[in-house]
Amino acid sequence: MVFQRSQIEEAANHIRAAWKPNPRVGIVLGSGLGSSVESMDVEVEFEYGDLPHFPRSTAIGHRGRLLAGELAGLPVIAMQGRFHLYEGYTPQQVAFPVRVMRGLGADLLIVCNAAGGLHSTYAAGDIMVIDNHINMMFQNPLIGINDDRLGPRFPDMSSPYDPALIQQAMGIACEHDFTCHRGVYIGMLGPNYETRAEYRFLRRFGGHVVGMSTVTEVLAAVHAGMRVLGLSMIANVATPDNLVATSGAEVVAVADRAANKVATIIHGIISQFGAELQERAGH
Amino acid sequence: MLDLYDKIETAAAKIRESFPTPLHAGIILGTGLGGLADQIDVKASFNYEEIPNFPESTALSHRGRLVCGTLEDLPVVAMEGRFHQYEGYSLQQITLPVRVMKALGAELLIVSQAVGGMNPYYDSGDVMIIDDHINMMGDNPLVGVNDDRLGPRFPDMCAPYDAKLIEKGLEIARQQNFAAHKGVVVAVTGPNLETRAEYRFLRAIGADVVGMSTVPEVIVAVHCGMRVFGVSVITDMCLPDALEPADVEKIIAIAGAAEPKLRALVTGVLAYEAAKPR
């Protein structure tokens, strides 16, 4: 893993050459949620293919570019389209952009996804703030020799998702009058959707939603010492006792409709973070 | 994954040379269950090493032969011996034969396996028609760039096993007066058998039987749009509170003794398929 640090530096330098500000926040947008950063004042756009060591995004509903600019008054960097294990990337590759965001100075990561609801009170289009996750991907981006400059060998996972950010996000949803749950995200390898038996298992073992991303990036972010906020957009609700087929296109369609809720939370969180930073600077 | 298409075509072309009839079904015979192949009116057969891109079978009691012919008047191929994750093959390699069956025209996959029974109401020697599965192999044969010519990026798995054929299987068992359950199989990598703690866990997550195969093949069959009929033959009971050491010779003997039931199910399902109006 030691060689990876030079790759992080190379990618970060490439971005710095075109865009000077130090981003305070990194954002990873999920399936169909690309429009959640429409209010961002984009200064520079990078195609993943142009960035050194970046894999290319092959998933549907993912656009494959890195946006650098200002959102709610803070310099931010946002991934429109992410990498997934099911695409055949290694977990190190999947987590690489998060490492680069950290390398550029981001200390807050907002990570979004489209997920399948397991909890019977969830509805398609609802938002869930991720309180915790279960890694059922059988993979981990931290496997290998640990580079102590990037983070500790055994990162603590007692609260990977920042409790204060969870509260803030719930508050923002409340203020804007839309349903927002707080629950557990289960990360699966995919790419097939789950069987009824698998849904029942995941539900019984404490999952509220299930998806094929996020956990890998969050593990790297926690390892790198970032504060994390995770947002799941419920694309559909699994009803294993009366299961109907799920399609990728349907997931993307629901995500399109719910993207504004995600946008509202992202905007609110960054505004509050900006205010915190100003307050800290003022003291 | 994009070179997979060519690999499938090359393998299919080799089989077509000797057996050009478009297939109705592909059959995979599991541990100790190879006997069914004797019932096929054989038109051609291949050792796996004769088929381009096929791995070689290394597992015990698996012969490593693809038999082409007719069964219940339907053109079929049957794999005597399959590939397993525990042999060190990738799930893409393991499932290549299913893709080749599809390329040869098969619209139905019949898959069988020897499993350990965890549901205490099951008995050694019983058969279970697979209703659903849980993938605990930690891997998936569809990982990689998706080739849309082969199937969709995110295949749905709400009913991987054909509901009509499940009912048909249960009906055949009733008519022939043997016990057939309907249940959930969980697939693990192996090759070690499970610890008592692992059996308790697998039972708790909702599985009735546990095996080291089948699920990858079924995922791929669903990906490429095939209907699936799956049968598990319970070759030993894995009850964690009364666990006995597994005896592979005994497992194979029980599989052999239960093989006529599998034969009845497979031929019965194919007879039903043959009688269906097209």
Q: pLDDT tens digit string along A152-175? A: 999 999 999 999 999 999 999 999
Q: Does B184 touch chain A (CB under 8 A)?
A: yes
pLDDT higher for B126 or A38? B126
The answer to whether B40 and B24 are in contact (CB under 8 A) is no
Q: What is the mean pLDDT of residues B70-99?
A: 94
* Owning domain of residue A26: 2-282
Kindly tell me the burial class for residue A188, based on how many C-beta atoms sit within 10 Å of its own C-beta (0-12, 13-18, 19 or more): buried
Q: Min CA distance, A255 vs chain B (Å)?
A: 16
Q: Note the pLDDT of residue B123.
A: 94
Residues on chain B touching A88 (C-beta within 8 angstroms): 1, 143-145
Q: Show contacts of B190-198: CB within 8 Å, 24+ apart.
A: B190/B84, B190/B85, B190/B86, B191/B84, B191/B86, B193/B116, B193/B238, B193/B246, B194/B116, B194/B238, B196/B240, B196/B241, B196/B243, B197/B240
Q: Does B163 touch chain A (CB under 8 A)?
A: no
CA-closest candidate to residue B226, choices B133, B135, B151, B171:
B151
Low-confidence ranges of chain A (pLDDT < 70): 1-3, 57-63, 243, 283
Q: Note the pLDDT of residue B79.
A: 94
Q: What is the ipTM of this complex?
A: 0.87
Distance of alpha carbon B60 from alpha carbon B56, whole angstroms? 12
Distance of alpha carbon B93 from alpha carbon B124, whole angstroms? 31
- In one-letter notation, the amino acid at residue B186 is V
- Angle between helix B163-175 and helix B248-275 axes, rounded to 10 deg: 110
Q: Min CA distance, B58 vs chain A (Å)?
A: 26
Distance of alpha carbon B98 from alpha carbon B79, whole angstroms? 10
The answer to whether A194 and B157 are in contact (CB under 8 A) is yes
Q: Does B225 touch chain A (CB under 8 A)?
A: no
Q: What is the CATH number of the domain that holds A267?
A: 3.40.50.1580
Q: Does A1 touch chain B (CB under 8 A)?
A: no
Which of the 8 DSSP states describes residue B235? Answer: E
Tell whether the model's pLDDT for residue B58 goes beyond 90: no
Q: Note the pLDDT of residue B277.
A: 76
- Angle between helix A91-103 and helix A215-223 axes, rounded to 10 deg: 50
What number of helices (H) and strands (E) belong to chain A? 6, 9
Q: Does A239 touch chain B (CB under 8 A)?
A: no
What residue has token string 């939603």? A209
CB-defined contacts A:B, below 8 A: 88
Q: Min CA distance, A79 vs chain B (Å)?
A: 20
pLDDT higher for A280 or B264? B264
Q: Which of residues 28-67 of A touch B (CB under 8 A)?
A: 58-60
CA-closest candidate to residue A82, choices A221, A271, A208:
A221
Q: Note the pLDDT of residue A62.
A: 57
Distance of alpha carbon A199 from alpha carbon A236, whole angstroms? 13
Domain count, chain A: 1
Among A198, A210, A241, A244, the residue to mutate for chain B (most B Cβ within 10 A): A198
Nearest Cβ partner for B153 among A189, A195, A248: A248
CB contact under 8 A, A243 and B139: no
Residue B147 — pLDDT band, cuts 50, 70, 90? very high
State pTM to two decimals: 0.90
Q: Does A189 touch chain B (CB under 8 A)?
A: yes
Q: Which domains, ranges and CATH numbers included, belong to chain B?
A: 4-275 (3.40.50.1580)
Which of A114-118, B52-56, B188-192 has the least mean pLDDT? B52-56
Query: How remote is the C-alpha of B72 from its chain's centroid?
Result: 19
Residues of chain A by 3-state class (helix, strand, coil), percent to 5: 40, 25, 35
Q: pLDDT tens digit string along A220-277? A: 999 999 999 999 999 988 888 876 777 777 777 787 778 889 999 999 999 999 999 9
For A242, list phi and psi in degrees, rounded to 5. Answer: -155, 65
